[in-house]
Chain A
Amino acid sequence: MKKIINSPEAVVNEMCLGMERAHPDYLVFDPKYRVLSRKQPDKSKVCLISGGGSGHEPAHGGFVGKGMLDAAVCGDVFASPSTVQVYNAIVNNKTDKGTLLIIKNYTGDKLNFEAAAEMAQEDDDIAVEKVYVEDDVAVKNSLYTVGRRGVAGTVFVHKIAGAAAETGLELPQVKRIAEKVAENVRSIGFALTSCTVPAKGTPTFTLAEDELEFGVGIHGEPGVERKKITGSDDLAQKLLDMILEDMPLVRGEKAALMINGLGATPLQELYILNNSAGKILDQHGIKVYRTFVGNYMTAIDMAGASISLLKLDDETMAYLDSPADTPAFGLL
């Protein structure tokens, strides 16, 4: 393992402190409960809290700021934050309009965010609602699994629900809009290399020089299949086929596209993948209303990318266009 760290145990705290130092106008870090909150909180709006395991930077702390999140709770690398961490995030960031938790659909995150929500509702009389993101089409949902994983599509939920909250809407409305985004976003990723979790020190899995893991999760979970690597056009075709099979879009429909790097892929390649994806969507007659290319929801140092497609309507389009000003996401 070759990483710029002091010790595996200190990774999350030192990273959060580094974020706070880099963005002092945006972020305040609470080292006790490992929560990144807005420097200038707005108590008159619905509070949006997200978070989960660390290792997905800039998610979620990078999306704390005007027009997106109010706070992000940081668990250990790839491990859910504890109930008490989430509970304190809710209590310390409470506003007059209640709190919406944006939860990626993983067993640990669900357990801890839900238990924290219950505590805040019962002990502190805070109205708390939850929205779950499960956008990864690589995982087939069935009765016998815990459901699909939440991945990069979560960022669209942060953005659009965040914009809705900023306009002063009430909690049920913000929740409805967040759910609409969650229902209309699909993602799928692939890995060219594994990630290395600092505490483990060795790669989670190994891929041969000419192989990629198709459908990989953002913690290095296995995907749909291991494939021989091909060109960007072919890859984009296969990724978008999976997405469009799950969520058909008709000609003329509008969508937002996110080409998300998983941590170790250069922008050069992400832009090439975006060009491939754009051409395919053009062929389908799908209008790409906005495109986001960059590292939004990473898997530490994994090379690879994911494609997310969000089907838009007038309401979500308007909120997507609203300004956002956070360390990792800016829209004027």
Chain B
Amino acid sequence: MDVLTVKHIEIIIETMTDIIIENEVPFCQLDSAAGDGDFGMSLAKGFREVKARSGELSRESIGHFLKDVGMIITEYCGGASGPIWGSAFRSAAKYSAGAAALDLNGIAEMLNCAVEGIQKRGGAKLGDKTLLDALIPAAQSLRISANSGLSISEASKLAAVSAVQGGEKTRSYVASKGRASYLGERSLNYPDAGAVAIGVIFTGISKKIEDILK
């Protein structure tokens, strides 16, 4: 059965956490170019807490686990990252409430819910120079892969490529959300830190998925 179980999701979040902590400084540097330079730090602050409290997280279902992660992120990530990333996890958790495992179709739908959770919060859309510019292409890629009957491993590799490309494309966008929006045209040529981070995170996760589903 090609599915991700609670245990798999746990490993994926661990991987994500490690990537975010390792990249704290590079993510801040990316954000200093056009934003306010606190992105890597805000994100790492929340995920460090996830790591520290991993023993307390519910493993009852994928939804339970992601909800607990989301609560910690909401509470400990600083700035706008807390509500935005927290909403993504909460929406994903709502979709996967009670689920012991998800197939590719479910994973694609769950990521789509995460996108909707973020949009509900910040009101951003594709092209606004936010993390959604990487996350939406990744979610769309997963959806297409699911419809074409690819394996989870293949699909996550393709989603990571879409996320990286989406992050890179933000160089050509003018920011319209958050503090970078005050720079207007001056935000051109700098990629959005959140979108780049999604590419880095998805790349790391896809490698991990390949390992665990082998």
User: Would you list which residues of chain B between 75 and 98 have a CB under 8 Å from chain A?
Assistant: 75, 79-80, 82-84, 86-87, 90, 94
Across the interface, do B178 and A107 meet the contact criterion of CB distance under 8 Å?
yes
Interface assignment of B23: CB less than 8 Å from any CB of chain A: no
Once the chains are docked, how many angstroms separate the CA of A328 from the CA of B204? Answer: 54
Contact partners of B75 in chain A: CB under 8 A? 82-84
Once the chains are docked, how many angstroms separate the CA of A117 from the CA of B122? Answer: 14
Across the interface, do A83 and B80 meet the contact criterion of CB distance under 8 Å?
no
Contact partners of B121 in chain A: CB under 8 A? 111, 114-115
Across the interface, do B80 and A107 meet the contact criterion of CB distance under 8 Å?
yes
Please name the residue on chain A nearest to B75 by beta carbon.
A84
Once the chains are docked, how many angstroms separate the CA of A210 from the CA of B41? Answer: 41
Once the chains are docked, how many angstroms separate the CA of A84 from the CA of B80? Answer: 13
Once the chains are docked, how many angstroms separate the CA of A108 from the CA of B84? Answer: 11
Across the interface, do A111 and B176 meet the contact criterion of CB distance under 8 Å?
no
Across the interface, do A112 and B178 meet the contact criterion of CB distance under 8 Å?
no
Once the chains are docked, how many angstroms separate the CA of A107 from the CA of B177? Answer: 9
Across the interface, do B176 and A112 meet the contact criterion of CB distance under 8 Å?
no
Question: How would residues 170 to 195 of chain B score, 1 for a CB under 8 Å from any chain A CB and 0 otherwise?
Answer: 00000011100100000000000000
Once the chains are docked, how many angstroms separate the CA of A144 from the CA of B122? Answer: 14
22 pairs across A/B with beta carbons < 8 Å? A82-B74, A82-B75, A82-B82, A83-B86, A107-B80, A107-B177, A107-B178, A108-B80, A111-B80, A111-B83, A111-B84, A111-B122, A112-B82, A114-B83, A115-B86, A118-B87, A118-B90, A118-B120, A122-B94, A144-B176, A145-B181, A146-B181
Once the chains are docked, how many angstroms separate the CA of A83 from the CA of B87? Answer: 10
Q: In angstroms, how far is the closest chain A Cβ from the Cβ of B87? A: 6
Q: Is the interface of A mostly helix, strand, loop or mixed?
A: helix
10 smallest CB-CB distances across A and B, nearest first, come from A115-B83, A84-B75, A111-B83, A83-B74, A83-B83, A112-B83, A111-B80, A115-B87, A83-B82, A84-B74
Question: How would residues 111 to 137 of chain B score, 1 for a CB under 8 Å from any chain A CB and 0 otherwise?
Answer: 000000000111000000000000000
Contact partners of B83 in chain A: CB under 8 A? 83, 111-112, 114-115
Contact partners of A118 in chain B: CB under 8 A? 87, 90, 120
User: Would you list which residues of chain B between 45 and 79 have a CB under 8 Å from chain A?
Assistant: 71, 74-75, 79
Please name the residue on chain B nearest to A146 by beta carbon.
B181
Chain B contacts to A: CB under 8 angstroms: 71, 74-75, 79-80, 82-84, 86-87, 90, 94, 120-122, 176-178, 181
Once the chains are docked, how many angstroms separate the CA of A282 from the CA of B93? Answer: 59
Question: How would residues 298 to 330 of chain A score, 1 for a CB under 8 Å from any chain B CB and 0 otherwise?
Answer: 000000000000000000000000000000000
Contact partners of A111 in chain B: CB under 8 A? 80, 83-84, 121-122
Once the chains are docked, how many angstroms separate the CA of A94 from the CA of B138? Answer: 40
Contact partners of A145 in chain B: CB under 8 A? 181
Interface assignment of A119: CB less than 8 Å from any CB of chain B: yes
Once the chains are docked, how many angstroms separate the CA of A77 from the CA of B214? Answer: 51
Contact partners of A112 in chain B: CB under 8 A? 82-83
Contact partners of B178 in chain A: CB under 8 A? 107
Once the chains are docked, how many angstroms separate the CA of A260 from the CA of B183? Answer: 31
Once the chains are docked, how many angstroms separate the CA of A3 from the CA of B77? Answer: 30
User: Would you list which residues of chain A between 80 and 99 have a CB under 8 Å from chain B?
Assistant: 82-84
Once the chains are docked, how many angstroms separate the CA of A119 from the CA of B84? Answer: 13
User: Would you list which residues of chain A between 137 and 191 have a CB under 8 Å from chain B?
Assistant: 144-146
Q: In angstroms, how far is the closest chain B Cβ from the Cβ of A90? A: 14
Once the chains are docked, how many angstroms separate the CA of A122 from the CA of B67? Answer: 12
Contact partners of A108 in chain B: CB under 8 A? 79-80
Once the chains are docked, how many angstroms separate the CA of A144 from the CA of B82? Answer: 24
